[in-house]
Structure 1
Amino acid sequence: MAAAPRPRLRLSRTTVAILLVCGAVAGGGRWYVSRAESAQVASAREAKSGSPFKVFATIQELMDSTVDPAADGVWDSVAVISTEAGVEKREPRTPEEWQEVRRHALTLLEAMNLVVMEGRHAAPPGAQPKLGELDPKQIDVLIRANKPSFAAFADDVRATTLEALAAIDKRDVKALVVAGGKIDQACEGCHVTFWYPESAAPR
């Protein structure tokens, strides 16, 4: 004997809409809970590591965006340029020009703290080494194996940049040129040691 057909439940459009809204709210609640749980996990990890700092950029990206422009701002502030019109001697003269050079020096000084932060890789994934450079993964290994040496190079850049700051505050162009040369030597020493140790002709 065939079973009697079950009566169908007919819902009004209003009822269906209410059910959909309730479902969405419930789902949203789960989403908010998930986000809250993620925040708690991140907070716990941060507390475990003992550091509130997070590393995003690689050393290469930090160099391109911060270190190189700041160093160039110090080096290029004093120059002798030969053109068809003659020889131009460039140096900061006005308070505004000296202040601009000082900004570059301060940026370079603080950037060294960023360069040596734990967990910062040499270059983004897939980055290709320049001519004469080690592969980024090799650079990472070299830095991890020689952290004190890497930090010492950063200290050298800081020390020479402080000399540049002192020259800037005294508005001493000659001393600024000398300090700029020392900054260049400190930077190049790090590059030769960690980026292209096997190159006979560093860039």
Structure 2
Amino acid sequence: MRLLIVEDEPKTGAYLRKGLNESGFVADLAATGLDGLDMALELDYELVVLDVMLPGMDGWTLLRQLRASKDTPVLLLTARDEVSDRVKGLELGADDYLVKPFDFSELVARIKTIMRRGKARNVDTVQLADLEIDVFKRKVTRAGRRIELTAKEFALLHLLAKRPGEVHSRAMIASQLWDMNFDSDTNVVDVAIRRLRAKIDDPFEKKLVHTMRGMGYLMEERD
């Protein structure tokens, strides 16, 4: 099981790498956010242990850019225990959040829990009602009919469909798909949703993309 640690503090990074290697993992170490992002994108890691406070590129930015193209599980490490930070991390796509200082045994336990969940969700296809998404071939069909999507439309569809019933805020969608901070005056997310609906929902009787007023968007099958 190959892991990536992104930690700029040398002693902490060495401690984590040594401990995880001794716990049966194969752990690589990156000391900057840029190096961590390059390694996470180029290599196939089963999980990334990511420090939030990093030089050059912080953990939030790294996570946002990673989520634009890969679904590698991420465990965030931070010295801050603010609820807003935990919510931000989870909205950006983190799988768990651990506050420093922490007990090493808890870190290992959380990693194993995430990886068990990851094996269950890391599938080649996503199915919702009569909609099928082939993640690796980037092929979408509904009721047997092929649907052509742009790269952004596919990323938006996959983001919503892989977690059916979960509301995605406009801010989270904007940060993950456009690498931008959401501005209430910006309608880029709403426009993207309308275009996706025109292809995924409008030609069909049953609608899958739904709006939660004041909250965001979700996909689910409704009677």
Q: TM-score, normalised by structure 2?
A: 0.27
Q: Highest CA radius of gyration, 1 or 2?
A: 1
Relative contact order (alpha carbons < 8 A, sep ≥ 6): 1 or 2 greater?
1
TM (normalized to structure 1)? 0.29
Which one has the bigger helix percentage?
1
